[in-house]
């Protein structure tokens, strides 16, 4: 299994590059919802997390839940993904997954910038 630093080197560059790095990914099917104070997607904290299936469940079951889970990497026993604050709280509240918070996407991008500097 790759260690966290290896994962970080492979994905931090993608996070730091921004939208141009999403070539080949599935397109957004709908524009972000607009809220009172602006775009909803910009108001909500998003988390980089490692999700593991709880005992008695399979990892693929997490994808069938109907929750918004943006999988970045699949490991043997876990997904590394980005989820909204709301989705994260739902996963934890209902104990649908064992959640390891790696950090917010903002923190993750900042780490990527530091790693990419000479």
Residue 48 scores a pLDDT above 50: yes
The pLDDT value recorded for residue 6 is: 52
Query: Residue 32, Cβ neighbours under 10 Å: how many?
Result: 11
**Confidence bin at 23 (pLDDT 50/70/90):** very low
Residues 39-47: what's their mean pLDDT? 71
- Check: pTM over 0.75? Answer yes or no: no
Cβ-based neighbours of 37, under 8 Å, separated by 6 or more: 43
């Amino acid at each position: 299994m790759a260690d966290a630093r290896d994962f970080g080197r492979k994905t931090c560059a993608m996070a730091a590059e921004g939208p141009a790095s999403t070539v080949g990914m599935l397109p957004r099917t709908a524009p972000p919802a607009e809220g009172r104070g602006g775009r909803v997607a910009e108001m909500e904290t998003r988390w980089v997390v490692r999700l593991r299936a709880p005992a008695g469940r399979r990892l693929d079951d997490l994808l069938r839940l109907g929750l918004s889970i943006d999988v970045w990497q699949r490991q043997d026993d876990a997904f590394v993904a980005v989820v909204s604050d709301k989705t994260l709280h739902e996963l934890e509240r209902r104990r649908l997954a064992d959640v390891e918070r790696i950090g917010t996407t903002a923190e993750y991008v900042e780490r990527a910038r530091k790693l990419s500097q000479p």
